[in-house]
Amino acid sequence: MLNIQMHFSDGTRSGWMFNVADSETNNGWGGDGSTQSHDSEVQGVTSSIAVYGDDQCPDGSIRHVRSYANSLNHSVSMANLWIRNNYLKITNDHGMLHSECHKCLFAPNGQPDDEGQENEDIYIGANRVVDGAYRAGVGLCSIKLRWLNH
């Protein structure tokens, strides 16, 4: 399991503070230009966190799973993500926001992919989306990555 611990500025926060994705071409709002079918992502934009599932979701639309308004407002200095195969957990200074195990979430276990190469990686955009500097932001100060045996 990967733990991503993020610390945020006490000053200006705006735009894309983080984008954690299953596809190297994820560019926010659940999209990746159809380069991989396993393309879930979690994004921190302005003061909110949003979760998007991948193309494996049953409805085939932009797979918006959940949003957490004000989960990155100025009363929050830290957020944690825990990611493993088909699992995501999100916490911030105020407690747990989200915990879910679902086939639409991250797929880093070498699963075959209908649109691209098999999945084994997690990508992180700091103060921007993973693919594309045109969606940028400010406010993320540091990231600490840890592998956990769970």
User: What tens digit of pLDDT does each residue of 96-112 get?
Assistant: 998 999 888 999 998 88
> For 52-85, how does the pLDDT look when each residue is reduced to its tens digit (9 = 90+)?
998 877 665 557 788 999 999 999 999 999 999 9
* DSSP for 36-92, written as a single string: -S---EEEEETTEEEEE--TTSTT-S--EEEEETTTTSTT--EEEEEEETTEEEEEE
**Is the model's pLDDT at 17 over the cut of 90?**
yes
Q: How far apart are CA 46 and CA 136, in angstroms?
A: 11
Q: What is the pLDDT of residues 110-143, one digit of tens each?
A: 888 888 888 889 999 999 999 987 899 999 999 9
* Diameter over CA atoms, the chain: 43
Which domains, from first to last, does the chain contain?
Answer: 2-147 (2.60.120)
Q: Is the pTM of this model over 0.95?
A: no
Q: Which residue has the tokens 């045109």?
A: 134
> How many Å apart are CA 65 and CA 111, to the nearest integer?
21
